[in-house]
Structure 1
């Protein structure tokens, strides 16, 4: 089984599948083999079959947190965020308290426009993995969406410390400054976003409107 996981991580799907199949045949009542095969199917975006393998694992052991996490990923990838949310929550309740679970649960709430509900999960994900750029950025967005502009601004600045070429962080930092009526700093950040990503339409539009305002 460990060899199968190693092969899966190396992208050798067919070889990994053989090891996982052998594991299932040797231990048909052990959910782990089904979870690993489900992860393989998820990796190749065979969502229908992946769902069946994770469900089989849960049928064998309804306390299998990683099976619920896998099933949550299946629904998340298909943009069924309500079902994804339910399974990520179940994974947490069963003890899988890892940054990725909190992060994806938070994003599932965000995708349903439940920004206040997303916030504590994204905050916890950030606490568990403070150097992960994607988590930090989404946490900043959740703060901004719940009108916590001062804190959001600090978080976007922290994102830029991790990646000084993060155009979306510059754009959202610009929005924060605009919200605080600091037009010059907003323009500065919109301009930086466009320099990094010339096709950043939101930043370009914000930059254009501020320049027109200043001209007038």
Structure 2
């Protein structure tokens, strides 16, 4: 096993110091190979050393401006710094360079969502779910994006898909509740708010929604 692969293995096992030594050795032995810098950048990103990670990804790009994974890593650095516009640019560049993975499409969608561009985010979340249909994070975000753009039926189908993967996803239940309120089906809405609260009793939004419905019911019953 070469040093980079061994370092990745240690990183997955959370043996960060051993991984760092192997990545460093690899860079010293192959200073013009961008992969060493990308892997070290990923490690630094993982332990939240954002400034150092940025330098390693920029060095990788300097060595190979076609390295999609370096742009993806740099995008993650900017995303963690809440620089969503810069993050989006890097993720888009990674896609243009042929990085066709669910995560990069998810991250473009999340960047656009944070910039309040729901309609623009939607196709990226959709593509992420096509590439990885079992990714509950991408599915949930896709559902939110559909709901935000008033595609309520599709949003509901997507939240139900999330619950198939993770039956204890309280936010999926909460958003199903909201979608049923939108359709004026108060009983089904209440059912999902209760399920959200069964899973997560301190779910503030579900608590608030349930209290509102109970308050309206009391008024309509003349209490």
Show structure 1 runs of 5+ residues with no match.
none
For residues 66-93 of structure 1, the C-alpha deviation after alignment (integer angstroms, 9 at most, x for no partner) is: 0000001111111111111010000000
**Residue 33 of structure 1 aligns with which residue?**
36
**1:173 correspondence with 2:173:** no
Q: 1:203 aligns with which of 196, 202, 206?
A: 206
Helix, strand or coil: the match of 1:79? coil
Q: Which residue in the other structure is 1:183 paired with?
A: 186
Does 2:196 align with 1:193?
yes
1:187 to partner: Cα distance = 1.1
Structure 2: gaps spanning 5 or more residues:
none
Alignment root-mean-square deviation, CA: 0.8
Matched, 1:135 2:138: yes
Asked if residue 62 in structure 1 is aligned to residue 65 in structure 2, the reply is yes
CA offsets per residue over residues 48-79 of structure 1, 9 Å max, x none?
00000000000111101000000011111111
How far apart in 2 are the matches of 1:139 and 1:123? Answer: 6
Corresponding residue for residue 21 of structure 1: 24
Comparing 1-10 with 42-51, which one deviates more in the overlay? Answer: 1-10
Q: 1:47 aligns with which of 38, 45, 50?
A: 50
TM-score (norm 2): 0.95
Q: What is the CA–CA distance in structure 2 between the aligned matches of 1:147 and 1:116, rounded to whole Å?
A: 10
Give the distance between the partners of 2:51 and 2:148, measured in 1 at CA: 34
| C-alpha separation in 2, matches of 1:162 and 1:117 | 26
Partner of 1:116: 119
Distance, in Å, in 2 between the alignment partners of 1:33 and 1:75 is: 20
Please give the alpha-carbon distance, in whole angstroms, between the structure 2 residues aligned to 1:10 and 1:164: 28
Alpha-carbon offset, residue 29 of structure 1: 1.0
Of residues 72, 75, 87, the one that matches 1:72 is: 75
Separation in structure 2 between the aligned mates of residue 166 and residue 67 of structure 1, nearest angstrom? 33
Question: Which 4+ residue blocks in structure 1 deviate beyond 2 angstroms?
Answer: none
For the residue of structure 2 that corresponds to 1:181, the secondary structure is: coil
Kindly tell me the number of residue pairs found equivalent between the two proteins: 216
